[in-house]
Amino acid sequence: MLTNLLLFTFFQQPAAPPADTMRSRPLDAIVVTATRTERQVGSLPMPVTVVGKTQIQQSGSLRLNDILREQTGLTIVSDHGQGLQIQGFAPDYTLILVDGEPLIGRTAGTLDLNRLTAGNIKQIEVVKGPSSSLYGSEALAGVVNIITESPTRTQGSVSARYGANRTSDLTADVALRQGKTNLYLFGNRYASAGYDLTPETYGNTISPFTNYTGSGRLTSQLTNRVKLTLTGRYFAESQTANAQLTDQQIVLGTGKVNEYTINPVVTHQVSDAWKLMYRYYRSGYRTSSDLRYQTTGVDYDASYFRQTFNRPELVVERMIRSRHFLTLGVGYIGESVAATRYPGRQVFSTRYSFAQFEWVPTRRLTVIAGGRYDNHSQYASQFSPKLSARYEVSPTIALRASSGVGFKAPDFRQLYLNFDNGVVGYSVFGTQELAAGIARLQQQGQIAEILADPARFGNIRAESSMAYNLGIAANFQQKYNLPLLLSVNLFRNDVRDLIETQVVAQKTNGQNVFSYTNLNRVYTQGAEVDGSYRLTVGAGRLVVSAGYQYLDARDKSVVDAIRAGQVFRRNPETLVTEQVKMADYGGLLNRSRHMANLKFFYELPRHGISASVRGIYRSRYGFSDRNGNLILDVDNEYVPGYVTWHLTAAKTIRQLTVQAGVDNLTGYTNPQNIPTLAGRLWYVSLRWNWQQRAETQLNSL
């Protein structure tokens, strides 16, 4: 959030960040997400992953999900859009920010990361562990903050890319500077013909689509102490939709997504010690789809979803004795949603305030304590504290620990959804709509059988977690002159009242009626190891990085039941029943126990050559129960593990860069379980960069 303000070179930096021996190291990026203040990533007491523009470009990533899936401990999972799994949490539990402001449009919980082009990303910051103490609801598993470009000199670029599946990407941007005012404009068009992994069935696996992103930012230093930033973004997508109904009839149509954001920020540096920020953010998100019968053109299903989000916020920063930092904030969120699937227009509001104190008693120790109080219009108030500390044992080794509370309020969907899927035939009701929905279906004679008591769904509670992260980071540069970075992080999240979909009834058409319920007591725990080593190879340099995450995510009630000898399984062939042992329990579905990556980035600057080889591994993960005990415990309940390899090579001649690449080199696919994994994809791209020389820039425009 502060990046767009603070990263300008001419900005008067009030004071140096806390004393930090790692500051001179080139690998240590500046991040803002973890503390809402500008800090070097190595100096933070919580685990933060930073991905810079160079890595995004060298990886040939087009969309946000492309680059995030390659980071240690992160994986992309699909559920009505491609979202991020962090520390074993589903995508709903990670807050996605662009320049510090939240993205909206979680029609079914997942915020589709495919919506975000990588073209204007300057840096991606991923904070693992709860950050509700600063950001409130949704920041339970972590926070992803996309920092967009904000150049301070006149420059421009145009790039074009074409590849398999007739996927094309056109990107252009221009930055202008005059005096103390900067203007940045960005445009992107992304289109694909989609693909079909199952030609034997009707319809594409991924249907053809085209989308456009436009964004702009105006920054102006109004006076010595006051700066204005105005940012806006617009996104529009159109995708072909088609489906074959159970009666063989075909319905066709178009699905549209539109999104905009407006974000004016005034920063007032009152004095060296005081800073005020007035922020306002508004976002609107809408989708619509219109399906019609192919033969007759008669309306089959038309739907829409409209969400708005308004947030004024005031943040005060106070520096105390040039060492300690106090951050205070207060704000209001007004949200609304109207959709074919919700009755009427539903409104939420939240009043919140937060405080964070960064205490730096000695050069080696940093302690950050903070908390946030959220007062919801629909729910009991939430208080989310967090305490973290970092201690530098030696110039090489630092220890860090953090503990905090995260929460996620039930969303619109979980409360108010009233949805009958016309194509497949299932129904989903929010908890507040369930009783009426079931009654209506019963009246229509659509309910074959009630499978769970609807009254039980009654009052859904906010989900919350208590998290612990303990890490050690080693940087061998200063003392051993070795360009080696190593870090280990251990994590544990104890989650209460996790909200999951649950079947309430079976319909006469064989499909289900779903609602949402609190699934008590889940935990995720694990370890993450990350390392990178920079070495010289000939005239070039090679960066080798590797990462690994071990994850253990379990339902505590299942663990208790297995321990009590109450869980059994039946061999489907012999029909013989046996007791399930703890070692057989595979934990929560869709979680891989092992995830790893190995990446090589090579650069030969003198010849303008760069190349990368990246391998991403995900071990097997559960997708559904097959032997009647509803838990993951036998081999055929897993999706097999897999590796994908990705290659790029690029050559830069003056202002022109040519890049070629192959994604998923081995062409691994699993149409049934991983439809979003296309086969082998090649591409070529051309990028032209232009930059005005620094000494003449004041005369530009």
Partner 1 sequence: MKLIANLTLLALSAALLTACSKDENAVTTQPVQSVTVRDLAADPTSTTAVSTTASNGTAVQPLPATGKYTLYSLRDNKVIANTDSASNKWDIGFRSTSIIVNGGAIRSGQGGANVYTGTFDALTAIPTSTTFAQDQSPTQLAVPSGSGNGWYNYSSTTNLVSAIPGRVLLLRTGDGTKYAKLEILSYYLGAPASPTSTTPSRYFTFRYTYQPNGSMTLN
The contact set with partner 1 (CB under 8 A) reads 246-249, 448-453, 501-503, 506, 510-512, 514, 566-570, 572-573, 575, 577-579, 623-630
What is the nearest approach in angstroms of partner 1 to the Cβ of residue 624? 4
What is the nearest approach in angstroms of partner 1 to the Cβ of residue 577? 5
Tell me how far the alpha carbon of residue 97 is from its chain's centroid: 8
What is the nearest approach in angstroms of partner 1 to the Cβ of residue 424? 10
What is the nearest approach in angstroms of partner 1 to the Cβ of residue 451? 4
What is the nearest approach in angstroms of partner 1 to the Cβ of residue 627? 7
**Shorter beta-carbon distance to partner 1: residue 573 or 635:** 573
Tell me the C-alpha distance between 477 and 474, whole Å: 9
**Shorter beta-carbon distance to partner 1: residue 260 or 623:** 623
Instruction: List the helix and strand counts (H, then E) for the chain.
Output: 8, 40
Q: Is 438 helix (H, G, I), strand (E, B) or coil?
A: helix
What is the nearest approach in angstroms of partner 1 to the Cβ of residue 326? 49
Nearest to 618 by CA among 549, 666, 530: 549
Q: List strand residue ranges (DSSP E) for 556-620, in order.
A: 568-570, 577-579, 594-604, 609-618
Q: Is 48 helix (H, G, I), strand (E, B) or coil?
A: strand
Are the C-beta atoms of 388 and 134 separated by less than 8 Å? Answer: no
Strand 498-507 relative to strand 512-519, pairing: antiparallel
What is the nearest approach in angstroms of partner 1 to the Cβ of residue 572? 4
**Shorter beta-carbon distance to partner 1: residue 39 or 507:** 507
**Shorter beta-carbon distance to partner 1: residue 572 or 640:** 572
Amino acid, res. 381: S
What is the nearest approach in angstroms of partner 1 to the Cβ of residue 251? 12
Q: DSSP assignment of 276-339, as one string?
A: EEEEEEEEEEEEEEEEEETTT--EEEEEEEEEEEEEEEEEEEEEETTTEEEEEEEEEEEEEEEE
CB atoms within 10 A of CB 491: 24
What is the nearest approach in angstroms of partner 1 to the Cβ of residue 582? 15
**Shorter beta-carbon distance to partner 1: residue 296 or 699:** 296
**Shorter beta-carbon distance to partner 1: residue 550 or 568:** 568
Strand 167-178 relative to strand 181-192, pairing: antiparallel
**Shorter beta-carbon distance to partner 1: residue 36 or 569:** 569
What is the nearest approach in angstroms of partner 1 to the Cβ of residue 467? 29
What is the nearest approach in angstroms of partner 1 to the Cβ of residue 640? 17
Tell me the C-alpha distance between 681 and 161, whole Å: 13
Tell me the C-alpha distance between 516 and 532, whole Å: 43
Cα–Cα distance list, 690 to 179, 467, 510 (Å): 20, 46, 60
Tell me the C-alpha distance between 12 and 453, whole Å: 62
**Shorter beta-carbon distance to partner 1: residue 378 or 511:** 511
**Two tokens, residue 354:** 């937060």
**Shorter beta-carbon distance to partner 1: residue 223 or 296:** 296
State the DSSP code for 348.
Answer: E
Tell me the C-alpha distance between 108 and 430, whole Å: 12
What is the nearest approach in angstroms of partner 1 to the Cβ of residue 439? 16
Tell me the C-alpha distance between 543 and 484, whole Å: 10
**Shorter beta-carbon distance to partner 1: residue 200 or 247:** 247
**Shorter beta-carbon distance to partner 1: residue 452 or 546:** 452
Tell me the C-alpha distance between 559 and 556, whole Å: 5
Tell me the C-alpha distance between 98 and 593, whole Å: 30
**Shorter beta-carbon distance to partner 1: residue 497 or 637:** 637
Which residues have a Cβ under 8 Å from the Cβ of 56 and sit 6 or more positions away? Answer: 67, 118, 121, 124
**Two tokens, residue 275:** 């800073």
* Residues forming beta bridges with residue 221, ordered by sequence position: 227
**Shorter beta-carbon distance to partner 1: residue 188 or 515:** 515
Tell me the C-alpha distance between 92 and 104, whole Å: 11
State the DSSP code for 699.
Answer: G
Burial 265-274 (b: 16+ CB within 10 A, else e): bbbebeeeee
**Shorter beta-carbon distance to partner 1: residue 54 or 624:** 624
**Shorter beta-carbon distance to partner 1: residue 363 or 570:** 570
- Show the DSSP H helices in 76-162 as ranges: 132-135
What is the nearest approach in angstroms of partner 1 to the Cβ of residue 630? 5
CA angle 670, 674, 678 (to 5 degrees): 75
Tell me the C-alpha distance between 637 and 375, whole Å: 42
What is the nearest approach in angstroms of partner 1 to the Cβ of residue 463? 20
What is the nearest approach in angstroms of partner 1 to the Cβ of residue 610? 44
